[in-house]
Structure 1
Amino acid sequence: MKQLVNSMTGFGQAQGKIDQTTISIEVKTVNHRFLDFSFKMPREFLGFEDAMKQKIRQYFNRGRIDVFINISGEGVRSKDIQVNWKTLDQYLKALEEIKEKRDISSDIEFEDLLQLEGIFIEEENAEVDGEVQDKIIELLEEVLQKVNAMRQDEGAALKVEVLNRINNVKDYTNELEQHIDTIQKEYQERIKERIHSHLNDTAQDESRIIQEVAILTDKSDITEEITRLFSHVAQVQEAVNLHQPIGRKLDFITQELLRETNTIGSKSNDVRISKIVVALKSEIEKIKEQVQNIE
């Protein structure tokens, strides 16, 4: 079963040999909105790129995946040795001319021909042997397992951090809820005092004042926002236990948490509410920062 929360940051490396050729593979992953690939490797391996992408998709759903492949020792392509007959004939003709003009009778030995430059031509085959591709995929899978383990370890730490922060958000929301009745009553009294101060004593209409107070109080009511905050907290707590990528989901929820918190801040001028709103925004911003690295 797949890890519940995965980070998008990881690193792994592995090395293997085919005959006298050493192949080294490194994979580094960082956060990215989608699954993005980058390969830095010899041209011989370009034909394997699709197979490597397919293998990577078996492990990761999001993140930038940087793959580095290096080879040392012998090349991975087989070579054919060809005789450059045209050049050899030119050498032999020149040697015969030297013998005739300088009266040299020594015979040309085979060892002498080996010293001549350009007699033999090495030609690499266009295709890399299938054994090489199998080895690369084998090494890549070994590396991906290491990267995945690192992403899982960091993901576990991110889960703890997010849950701790969201619990703080829940505590602050509970604190807001406890102040609702008291703050609304205080708010109603302040409004009534302000209205009374602007009305002539003989022209006061108590029912009209009460109606205006009720309208203004309703506009300042934060009950709905608090209810939605509790709902979003529960969604985060549920999401971190899902067996699927949750980064985008958590990112959306944190945006909603911020939106509700900002609405509460704009509705209330109470100092106590303002302090809690500041604390709430701080916790949510920290959650949002951590969520950016969750797959």
Structure 2
Amino acid sequence: MIKVIKSMTGYGQAVDTYHDRQVSVEIKTVNHRFLDFSFKLPRELTALEDQMKTQCRSWFNRGRIDIWIQMNGEPLSEPTINVNWPLLNQYLAKVHEIKDETGIPGDITINHLLQLEGLLEKDESNQVDEALEQVIRSTLEKALANAYQMRIDEGETLRQDVLQYNEEIKKLANELNDNRETLKQHYYDRVLVRLQDTLKEVDIDHQRLVQEVAMLADKGDITEEVTRLLSHTEQIDELLSSNQAVGRQLDFLSQELHREANTIGSKANDIALSKQAIALKSVIEKIKEQVQNIE
């Protein structure tokens, strides 16, 4: 049974109508360490944002989710202007107090009143009726489903790429494993000859020299690194057979692969090993790049 690996790259769109209004939803998702939302929607719909986030969480575990919602056609309601009567009454009462206390003459005109701060209030509050809210939520659901399907399609491509690169790593690791004794012997022979040439005028214990060179050669052995490489590739295969969000785990394993490849490169003692280490790191870089976009 083929499992589903999902990309974090996706796009979805959906359109529906409600009476004279058109509801349009557009969703774009990209890679992100966590699940992050960005909504761009009419101010009348801001009260629904938390519900929409909950709706999105049922589809996605990780990624940056950008959501645009547009409503074209008949507005939800017309803004109205209200008079703040309590405030006006207070202003008028204070004006009369001032006139009574000071005897300053003069009349209040409408122009004076219109300049009073807070006297006129613009009411743009809107209530989205249940039927319209249902249309918005269902349109969002369709767009989410479309984005989700694209993430599945992209994810399958990523899965195949990572599987291919993982097989290349196994092949290179097995080649290194097959050659490790030969490489170790070459390293041993080269160091021994070099030391003998350097110390030929010095009276030394030949047997002790051979033992020391053997110990030095052991430090150049790559057996442990190759074993860990192969173990990591097995774990990658297992994760790629999962229905869970495994992007973070794959990212961690790609870093571990890179660490082992660097260690092998540092132990490279001849041209053949150096070339294999470079080839290994090149393939691992490809895996690292791909798993960055897996959910």
Unmatched 5+ stretches in structure 2: 84-121
- How far the C-alpha of 1:133 sits from its partner, in A, is 1.7
Contact 1:61–1:245 (CA<8 Å) still a contact in 2? yes
C-alpha deviations, 1:182-238, integer Å up to 9, x for none? 111111111111121122467131221122112211110110000000000101111
> Structure 1: which 4+ aligned runs deviate by more than 6 Å?
none
- How far the C-alpha of 1:81 sits from its partner, in A, is 8.8
2:222 matched to which residue of 1?
222
1:233 & 1:31 partners in 2: Cα distance?
Answer: 23
Task: State the superposition RMSD in angstroms.
Answer: 2.3
Q: Residues 51 and 176 from structure 1, CA distance in 2 versus in 1: closer, same or farther, beyond 3 angstroms?
A: same
Match of 1:68, SS state, is strand
Contact 1:31–1:293 (CA<8 Å) still a contact in 2? yes
1:127 matched to which residue of 2?
127
- How far the C-alpha of 1:80 sits from its partner, in A, is 9.2
2:201 & 2:79 partners in 1: Cα distance?
Answer: 111
Q: Residues 278 and 200 from structure 1, CA distance in 2 versus in 1: closer, same or farther, beyond 3 angstroms?
A: closer
1:150 matched to which residue of 2?
150
- How far the C-alpha of 1:288 sits from its partner, in A, is 0.7
Q: Residues 124 and 209 from structure 1, CA distance in 2 versus in 1: closer, same or farther, beyond 3 angstroms?
A: closer
Match of 1:203, SS state, is coil
2:174 & 2:3 partners in 1: Cα distance?
Answer: 32
- How far the C-alpha of 1:129 sits from its partner, in A, is 1.5
2:225 & 2:64 partners in 1: Cα distance?
Answer: 37
The two structures have a TM-score, normalised by structure 2, of 0.82
Q: Are 1:22 and 2:22 matched, yes or no?
A: yes
- How far the C-alpha of 1:123 sits from its partner, in A, is 6.8
Aligned positions, number: 257
* Of 35-44 and 200-209, the range deviating more from structure 2: 200-209
1:233 matched to which residue of 2?
233
2:80 & 2:284 partners in 1: Cα distance?
Answer: 68
1:221 & 1:213 partners in 2: Cα distance?
Answer: 13
Q: Residues 123 and 19 from structure 1, CA distance in 2 versus in 1: closer, same or farther, beyond 3 angstroms?
A: farther
Contact 1:16–1:139 (CA<8 Å) still a contact in 2? yes
Contact 2:23–2:70 (CA<8 Å) still a contact in 1? yes
Q: Are 1:48 and 2:48 matched, yes or no?
A: yes
Q: Residues 2 and 206 from structure 1, CA distance in 2 versus in 1: closer, same or farther, beyond 3 angstroms?
A: closer
Match of 2:61, SS state, is coil
Contact 2:44–2:125 (CA<8 Å) still a contact in 1? no
- How far the C-alpha of 1:127 sits from its partner, in A, is 2.2
1:198 matched to which residue of 2?
198
1:212 matched to which residue of 2?
212
2:71 & 2:126 partners in 1: Cα distance?
Answer: 17
Match of 2:55, SS state, is helix
2:157 & 2:143 partners in 1: Cα distance?
Answer: 22
Which residue identity is paired with 1:13? Answer: Q
* Of 161-170 and 14-23, the range deviating more from structure 2: 14-23
1:243 & 1:150 partners in 2: Cα distance?
Answer: 16
Q: Residues 80 and 163 from structure 1, CA distance in 2 versus in 1: closer, same or farther, beyond 3 angstroms?
A: closer
Q: Residues 265 and 2 from structure 1, CA distance in 2 versus in 1: closer, same or farther, beyond 3 angstroms?
A: closer
1:175 & 1:2 partners in 2: Cα distance?
Answer: 29
- How far the C-alpha of 1:76 sits from its partner, in A, is 2.5
Q: Are 1:285 and 2:271 matched, yes or no?
A: no
Identity %: 48
2:217 & 2:71 partners in 1: Cα distance?
Answer: 73
1:138 & 1:202 partners in 2: Cα distance?
Answer: 88
Q: Residues 205 and 43 from structure 1, CA distance in 2 versus in 1: closer, same or farther, beyond 3 angstroms?
A: same
- How far the C-alpha of 1:124 sits from its partner, in A, is 5.5
- How far the C-alpha of 1:126 sits from its partner, in A, is 3.4
Contact 2:34–2:62 (CA<8 Å) still a contact in 1? yes
Contact 2:187–2:269 (CA<8 Å) still a contact in 1? no
Contact 1:9–1:293 (CA<8 Å) still a contact in 2? yes
- How far the C-alpha of 1:269 sits from its partner, in A, is 2.1
